[in-house]
Amino acid sequence: MKLFRRTRPPALRVPSGTFDEASRASGFVLDATQRRAAAELEDADGRWVYLWGPVGRGKSWLMDTYFAAVPTDRKMRVHFHAFFVDLHATLERHRYDLHESLGALLGDVRLLCFDEFHVHDIGDAKFLERLLPALLDRGVMLVVTSNHPPAALLPNPLFHDAFLPTIALIERTMTVVTVDGPQDYRTLTGRHETGFASGVWAAPGDRGQLTTLGLTRPRPDESRLLRPVGHPIAALRADDDCLWFTFADLCSGSTAPSDYLALTRTPRTWVVSEVPTLHDAGRDASQRFVNLVDVLYDHDAPVVFLADEGFFDASGIDCLAADIERVMSRLRQLRRVPAAPAALPGEYATG
């Protein structure tokens, strides 16, 4: 097996105590797993670090604290989806020369941070097989966060064995740290001020709830066919203030994270209606919905979901277990709007 020789960059150390000071400023004390991860990051000095664990345990906070404290401007922090989209576009411009494309995209970047690192698609897996050695050769330090241990990447049994050499490379070149403390920090805040956290989860999305939210259902003449990156996506409404889609139009076709990323470039409120349970949606549509929530969350886009009342019962869905845990945690941050009360005898119900 070929061994890759890494060109070590100058030290990328952060001052000792960086994470303790940052946690005190944020009003909490590092738990044991966060402290272990902080120690690895403070001592990283160019080594690659892979932080993984359940949602809400502070992985992104650890990475962001390190990123902010590293004494260099030659650094990049990016959501894994967004980096792949930008890299594919750059590859097209450079006739699929990976070396030139990375040069154009990264320049002289010495530190690259990937948030939400995961692999579900065999095409992405094949691409990652080339990308990681190329980053090693460039001497770029890599820090990633993930909800999956390396061995659980690309879980589809049809393709997992083909990805084992890349998993072995990750485990050989990265310090893998589990961040799985007892506290889900996302449950500690009930604030719904701006961005994604200001969004709404409304089930079943009846007329009374829409009235409470100040929303009116789109008229037929408001529908548009959008092509954010080529795939046609039907929108019930697409104006300067609002994008309104059905779940089926966003998640049941051939859409990809690149479509969702392109649609977030213009700040607008999103409405996603007719969201079924994940049992009813099926694996592929559920995975696209997970990708959609990840993109909206990472870009801090306000969104209103009009959903089936049984959505949060995801018991028995094992194929996307780690992803479902993450997306449920994010969706539970949204404000709930109660359904209209049932009509009394003799009254007419509307909805």
Lowest-confidence range among 92-96, 282-286, 345-349?
345-349
Residues 325, 252 share a domain: yes
Residues 167, 26 share a domain: yes
Domain boundary among 161, 184, 207: 184
Residues 291, 214 share a domain: yes
- Whether 4 maps to a domain, the answer reads no
- Whether 351 maps to a domain, the answer reads no
Domain boundary among 184, 212, 245: 184
Structure-block tokens of residue 288: 């696209």
Q: In angstroms, rounded to a whole number, what is the distance separating the alpha carbons of residues 54 and 335?
A: 22
Residues 164, 31 share a domain: yes
Confidence at residue 119, expressed as pLDDT on a 0 to 100 scale: 84
Residues 159, 229 share a domain: no
Q: In angstroms, rounded to a whole number, what is the distance separating the alpha carbons of residues 286 and 201?
A: 17
Residues 127, 247 share a domain: no
Pair 351, 208: CB distance under 8 Å: yes
Structural domain boundaries enclosing 200: 189-337
Residues 159, 34 share a domain: yes
Q: How far are the Cα atoms of 38, 63, 90, 172 from residue 144, in angstroms, in the given order?
A: 13, 8, 22, 15
Residues 197, 180 share a domain: no
Residues 226, 166 share a domain: no
Residues 114, 66 share a domain: yes
- Whether 343 maps to a domain, the answer reads no
Q: What is the pLDDT of residues 205-261, one digit of tens each?
A: 999 999 999 999 999 999 999 998 877 999 999 998 999 999 999 999 888 888 898
Q: What is the pLDDT of residues 3-13, one digit of tens each?
A: 444 444 446 88
Give 24's pLDDT tier (boundaries 50, 70, 90).
Answer: very high
The CATH number for 193's domain is: 3.40.50
* Orientation angle between helical segments 59-69 and 18-26, nearest 10 degrees: 120
Secondary element (H or E) of residue 202: strand 200-202
- Whether 1 maps to a domain, the answer reads no
Q: What is the pLDDT of residues 28-68, one digit of tens each?
A: 899 999 999 999 999 887 789 999 998 778 999 999 999 99
Chain centroid to Cα 95, Å, comes to 29
Pair 106, 86: CB distance under 8 Å: no
The CATH number for 156's domain is: 3.40.50.300
Residues 235, 172 share a domain: no
Provide the number of structural domains found in the chain: 2
- Put simply, whether the predicted model's pTM sits higher than 0.75 gets the answer no
Confidence at residue 341, expressed as pLDDT on a 0 to 100 scale: 61
Residues 116, 25 share a domain: yes
Chain centroid to Cα 351, Å, comes to 33
Pair 58, 182: CB distance under 8 Å: no
Structure-block tokens of residue 109: 């970047």
- Whether 8 maps to a domain, the answer reads no
pLDDT at 187 over 80: no
